[in-house]
Structure 1
Amino acid sequence: MSRRAVVLVVALLLAGCSGPPRSTPDVPSRGPLNNTDVMFLQMILPHHRQGVELAALGHTKGGRAELVRLAAAIEATQRDEAEMLAGVLADSGAPPSPAATGGEDPHAAHGGLPGTSELQVAALKATTGTEFERRFLNTMMAHQGDAIRLAKMEVAGGADKRLVDLARRIEQSRTAQIEQMQKLLDATPR
């Protein structure tokens, strides 16, 4: 790939990592949140919070400048998105999680995305150097793949325009991030 193409990809990634446009909170919803909107919020918020934790590891422990910059951008984006999403969920009056209602998990029927386990996070924290970068990139690509699946669910069935628009941006930016991370992984020494 030419240097110009690499610069373009990085610029696009960083643009996609800049968080939701400032106008997002001003976009009116199409009415009250539907079940898909609430489910999306309840599932994506803990996912984003864990993404911030993972990206912070890449930002602080990564060796290559490209990896550190990408991880820092992911960390900032997901922190901003989580803050906005938490506000929407709080304003909706819906519980922060299905467990908060004391009932059965209504998300279980959706396959309950497995997420990144505490063991995986601990193993990532315990590694350094090239092993860390390889493990980080693989973990983060899987994590962002889960975000894409959640975003597609919201796009397909959500009613709130702000959330559907954000879900579309999540799908696009996470796809670009995965592509960039795959290139970084391919360039990681064995």
Structure 2
Amino acid sequence: MATPLMRFFLLVLAFMVSGCASTQSDAVLRGDPLDVMFLQMMLPHHQQGVEMVALAKDRAQDEELRMLAAAIEKTQVTEADTMRTWLTSWGEPLTAPPDAHAGHGGMRESDPKEIERLSALRGAEFDQRLANVMIAHQDDAVQMARWETGSGASQEVKDLADRIDKSRTAQISMMKKFLDRA
């Protein structure tokens, strides 16, 4: 099994070999390919997270979990708006073509059927399932954010990635505490 550092180096190598790299003049006009890839991967990841936590409004039993879900939703909607603005200003599509970055590890996401499963639950059972699913989902965001902070070119995008890392790490900690007391 590859370590995170090994996966990072393999990702960078695959990125360079696949032709996704650009010249500096392209990066100025269009946005750095690593930053673009990060944003294009984070947008659907954020959307999926928002869909899941939005279910807490009328399904969660625990008030603290419902408040955390609302905060996650607001944060991720705001971040997604920022990401769309940057991609649009760079003349980049909001989504990459299908499988455009498959050689780089592809999109990290929760099982799309998970939203269906969560929709069928209510109360304490929903709370526990949401916390477990969101811990894994937010951990994927942390991993992508750390990759960007170490590899990206745009300081603004790296700063966003750093904020994502810190906020998702804190959210994971809160959800683990919820599970410990549940």
TM-score tier, shorter chain, comes to 0.7 to 0.9
2:153 corresponds to 1:159? yes
Looking at both structures, which has the greater relative contact order when contacts are Cα pairs under 8 Å and sequence separation is at least 6?
Answer: 1
* Residue of 152, 166, 169 corresponding to 1:172: 166
1:37-96 CA-to-partner distances (Å, cap 9, x unmatched) read 000010001111111111111233211111011000000000011011111111111122
CA contact (8 A) 1:31 1:159 kept: no
Task: Report runs of 4+ in structure 1 exceeding 4 Å deviation.
Answer: none
AA aligned to 2:96 is: P
Identity of aligned residues (%): 45
Other structure's SS at 1:133 match: helix
- Taking structure 2 as the reference length, the TM-score comes to 0.80
The aligned length equals 155
Counterpart in the other structure of 1:60 = 58
CA contact (8 A) 1:37 1:159 kept: yes
Counterpart in the other structure of 1:133 = 127
Counterpart in the other structure of 1:34 = 32
Counterpart in the other structure of 1:72 = 70
- Taking structure 1 as the reference length, the TM-score comes to 0.77
1:95-115 CA-to-partner distances (Å, cap 9, x unmatched) read 22221xxxx623212222441
Counterpart in the other structure of 2:3 = none
Other structure's SS at 1:95 match: coil
Aligned-residue CA RMSD (Å):
1.6
2:97 corresponds to 1:86? no
Point out where structure 2 has 5 or more consecutive residues left out of the alignment.
1-26
The range that moved more, 159-168 or 50-59, is 50-59
